[in-house]
Amino acid sequence: MDEIRVRFAPSPTGFLHVGGARTAIFNWLFARNKGGKFLLRIEDTDPERSKSELSAQIIRSMNWLGMEADEPIVYQALNINRHREVVEELLKKSKAYYAFETPEELEAKRKEAASRKVQYKYNRASAELSRETIDKYLSEGKPYAVRFSIPEGRTEFEDIVHGNTVFNNSEIEDFVLMRSDGSPVYQIAVVVDDHDMKISHVIRGDDHLSNTPKQILLYRAMGWEVPQFAHLPMILDEQKKKLSKRRNPVAVEDYKSKGYLSEALFNFLTLLGFAPEDNREIVSKNDLIRMFTFERVNKKSAVFDMKKLDWINSEYIKSADENMIANLVKEKLEDMKLTNESVNLQYVKNVVSLMKERVSTINDFTEFGKYFFEEPSKFDDKGLVKHWNPQIKPVFADYFENLKKSSVWNIEILEKELRDFAVLRNVKAGELIHILRLSLTGMTISPGIFELMKLLGKDKVILRIAGFLEKIN
Ligand code: GLU
């Protein structure tokens, strides 16, 4: 296999989760680094659990992360006849056999093993049946599954991440290839499709490691070239437990709606198992493509650290194009019904440049900077208790009277006027600023107060302070 061809093969039984996305990213980076092909195969063979809207959702998330497939998407369910054909071929080659046990018989054996506390393994009874018996059962229409006949010996392979890996075949049971209802199982479907798609490298999570010897044996039984395998470390949550849908928000789309940037999430997910050159943590896609090598992929599991994601996202927001960020914030505002004529793109862009150094996500702009887009409806209680004291009240009221008369509304003059006034009345400038901030934002933290006043404009500032004095006094 000269050409590098990799695939991401999600089962559409749920949303694209961050663990799956990480697998996709490593495949994509490897393909891009090698000038190979990145393919997408939707493994939708389970009719009960696979939903077409979930396939669409997976594809949307992949596109959002910037990983489109280089060839038309393969839908595994369309290949079922081909999978059956290969099962037939394995039967003909005597690499597989009919198994006539009923589900009830197998269940009884399983229970019996459990009661003896031994690991259940299929006893190969059907493999011993004579040709006559098999023909008789088949002619009677007795239901059967098809099982793969595991050869004796060991299965050894060089995993690109884990190195030499060996399984004793005696530990692998003669697994089912096709169920009695004629449906092929994952093991055969994945091998046939990977072969037909000329996949050169199978890159997937460590949870598939134990499937690999079974799949290698299938390739060999068919006389097909075996691809290379790379198993990626598991992702753990902060409690060092496997990342789970129950405990963590794991769908890629959730991160999008929480205000993470696609490039930042991509960068963060890559760090789950990949160590960039020079210990860099903020690495562009192009640099990641250039740097990607399995030598930099860890064997040990990686921890999903939300704080790190927030930090990476904040770095991307700081350095991103302000127009791009402003457009994302505006979309959020539209969802929140917070746009009007004065909240136009230029205004949002001004908010972005004021706030971008202090946010972690796009949603932070609308959450912590909501006052830029609507009147504050309440004023922070603790802030009031702390700053709104009897001494400052008359001073602030006088400052407000002066402010109303201000004819020039620019940052330097606003600051100078406030500081001069504070000196004149013998109060600290900070005392006035705290109240100004509370009255204009309802909060005790905000970007620079004079920049904020400039951006809100005189009319709004005067109205808000008046409203504050009316409500609070
Ligand atoms: N469809 C399988 C899954 O979602 C992946 C199969 C593979 O990568 O071999 O876990």
Task: With respect to residue 411, please indicate whether it lies within any of the assigned structural domains.
Answer: yes
Task: With respect to residue 353, please indicate whether it lies within any of the assigned structural domains.
Answer: yes
Residues 466, 407: one domain? yes
**Which atom number of ligand 1 is nearest to the Cα of residue 20?**
4
**How much of the chain, in percent, has pLDDT values that exceed 90?**
92
Over range 18-27, report the average pLDDT.
97
Residues 133, 45: one domain? no
Task: Please tell me the predicted confidence (pLDDT) of residue 97.
Answer: 98
Residues 419, 354: one domain? no
Task: Tell me how far apart the alpha carbons of residues 429 and 421 are, in angstroms, rounded to a whole number.
Answer: 8
Over range 195-204, report the average pLDDT.
98
Task: Please tell me the predicted confidence (pLDDT) of residue 48.
Answer: 79
Residue with tokens 């600051």: 415
Residues 315, 332: one domain? no
pLDDT at 50 over 80: no
Task: Please tell me the predicted confidence (pLDDT) of residue 51.
Answer: 80
Which of these ranges, 76-80, 154-158, 244-248, 331-335, has the smallest mean pLDDT?
A: 244-248
Residues 330, 407: one domain? no
CA–centroid distance, 449 to ligand 1, in Å, is: 53
pLDDT at 249 over 80: no
Residues 48, 125: one domain? no
Under 8 Å between Cβ of 348 and 326: yes
CA–centroid distance, 41 to ligand 1, in Å, is: 9
Residue 316 pLDDT level (bands cut at 50, 70, 90): very high
Residues 338, 300: one domain? no
Q: Which domain holds residue 358?
A: 321-362
Structural domains counted in the chain: 4
Task: With respect to residue 218, please indicate whether it lies within any of the assigned structural domains.
Answer: no
190 lines ligand 1 (CB under 6 A): yes
CA–centroid distance, 93 to ligand 1, in Å, is: 27
44 lines ligand 1 (CB under 6 A): no
Residues 286, 328: one domain? no
Tell me the per-residue pLDDT of 117-166, one tens digit each, with 9 for 90 and over. 999 999 999 999 999 999 999 999 999 999 999 999 999 999 999 999 99
Residues 438, 427: one domain? yes
The catalytic residue among 93, 136, 242, 245 is 245
Q: Name the residue of 204, 218, 245, 250 whose CB sits within 8 Å of the most ligand 1 atoms, as the mutation to test its pocket.
A: 204
Please name the residues in contact with 283: beta carbons below 8 A apart, sequence gap of 6 or more: 267, 270, 276, 291
Over range 330-338, report the average pLDDT.
94
Residues 262, 307: one domain? yes
Tell me the per-residue pLDDT of 383-398, one tens digit each, with 9 for 90 and over. 999 999 999 999 999 9
Which of these ranges, 90-94, 328-332, 335-339, has the smallest mean pLDDT?
A: 335-339
| Average pLDDT, rounded, for the chain | 95
CATH number, domain with residue 455: 1.10.10.350
Q: What is the dihedral of CA 62, 64, 69, 70, to 10 degrees?
A: -160
Closest Cα to atom 5 of ligand 1: 9
CATH number, domain with residue 330: 1.10.8
Under 8 Å between Cβ of 16 and 57: yes
Known active-site residue 245: yes
